[in-house]
Amino acid sequence: MNYKQRLLKDRDALQELISIAKESNSAVELDQSKVGRLSRMDSLQKQAMSQEVDRRRHMELARIIAALRRIEQDEFGYCITCGEEIEGERLKLNPSLPQCSKCAKG
Ligand SMILES: [Zn+2]
Question: Model confidence over 21-74: pLDDT tens digits?
Answer: 988 877 666 565 555 666 778 888 888 999 999 999 999 999 999 999 999 999
| Alpha-carbon gap, residue 27 to 21, rounded angstroms | 10
Higher pLDDT, 19 or 38: 19
The protein residues having their C-beta less than 5 angstroms from ligand 1 (an ion) are: 79, 81-82, 100, 103
Higher pLDDT, 35 or 89: 89
Gap from CA of 87 to ligand 1 centroid (Å):
10
pTM to 2 decimal places: 0.81
Contact 18, 54 (CB under 8 A): yes
Gap from CA of 106 to ligand 1 centroid (Å):
9
Q: CA dihedral in degrees (90, 94, 96, 97; nearest 10)?
A: -40
